[in-house]
Structure 1
Amino acid sequence: MAVSGPRPKPPLQVVREGNPGKRPVREGVKLPPSELEEPNWLDTFPTVRGDDEQRQINARCREIARREWRRVVPVLKYTAGLAAVDTQTVMDYCICVARIDQCERQISSQGLLIQGERGWMKNGATTVAGQYRTQLKAYIGELGLSPSARGRLTPPEGGDDVDEDDPFD
């Protein structure tokens, strides 16, 4: 059964932003932060022999997923304290981004409607894109990547310690 009210903040976020209500902070399970190793995108988007079009599609998906991984992991290490067990969640997020790009390119080249056996019909990529967008929304909420989640975050106090690798600079 669902609980009403706002979703509780992760303990790391409560500590970072302060706890003005002095409510007890539910610690949950603590995992040590770790460096996430970028997956080999060839495992997910393999090189296909003989089919030039599919080879190009998979190469583009690999590039999109790689760029997204390299864009979000540094920020998530800082804001969420990623642990090794989070690798699959971030990887799935990157795959969703790549697949949405693939669907949107197909829709752009073929159109929203395509000629089928019995006349005009909706391009199947629109349904697939919608399903991936629904999943992407869940990952964005889980990882704290939406504008509203970022608006609730307060960067930690830096003091005199200047971090050159700070993703918020």
Structure 2
Amino acid sequence: MATAGRKPKPHLAAVREGTFRPDKHTEGARYEPRDPQEPDWSDLLPGDEDVQAKAHEVWQTVVPAVVRAAGLTDAQRHTAIEYCLTAARIWQGERVLSRDGMTVMTERGIVKHPMTTILNAYRSHFRSLTGELGLSPSSAARITPPQDGDDDGDIFD
């Protein structure tokens, strides 16, 4: 079957899946290899020191691993920040549900706690970020770790 008109897979998708071929894919953007800088969580999550601490904990646990495994750079840090924020918000929402219960009383009677709907949206976003960063077992298996040393043509050497 002809593949005319079909776009090749994006570079990172091909690398993650282990199907990258120089004759079919371009390498895409290349970023300077610099560890991402952790944001000031009090700017992003004002007023709740427990949630700020959770975001910091997730950053300290996850980001160094992603830097080693996938070569995450400072230019790509916004995905990691979003991952940490989402994880912290899920943690915060679970605390609310633990305190309030899964249902609430309204003028129409007992209904599902609104936080369950919010948490479902955060969890969906969390799953997509987990795949982007290679943190699920299946996405991690598709990532080729960055190579140490000279890669013949690295503009940042």
TM-score, normalization by structure 2: 0.76
CA distance 1:103–1:89, change in 2 (3 Å): same
Q: Percent of pairs identical after alignment?
A: 34
Q: Which residues of 2 match residues 2-13 of structure 1 at below 5 A?
A: 10=12, 13=15
Counterpart residue number, 1:36: 36
Determine the C-alpha separation between the residues in 1 that align with 2:30 and 2:147. Answer: 22
Counterpart residue number, 2:115: 125
RMSD across aligned positions (CA): 2.9
Q: Which residues of 2 match residues 16-165 of structure 1 at below 5 A?
A: 24-47=24-47, 58-153=48-143
Query: For the Cα contact (< 8 Å) 1:11–1:25, is it kept in 2?
Result: no
Report the secondary structure of 1:10's partner residue: helix
Shift of 1:136: 0.7
List runs of 5+ in structure 1 lacking aligned partners.
48-57, 159-169
Query: For the Cα contact (< 8 Å) 1:11–1:26, is it kept in 2?
Result: no
Relative CO higher for 1 or 2, CA cutoff 8 Å, sep ≥ 6? 2
Number of equivalenced pairs: 142
Give the counterpart letter for 1:79 in structure 2.
A
Determine the C-alpha separation between the residues in 2 that align with 1:82 and 1:22. Answer: 22
Shift of 1:98: 0.4
Shift of 1:85: 2.1
Report the secondary structure of 2:105's partner residue: strand
Determine the C-alpha separation between the residues in 2 that align with 1:96 and 1:146. Answer: 16
Query: For the Cα contact (< 8 Å) 1:42–1:62, is it kept in 2?
Result: yes
TM-score, normalization by structure 1: 0.71
Determine the C-alpha separation between the residues in 1 that align with 2:34 and 2:89. Answer: 27
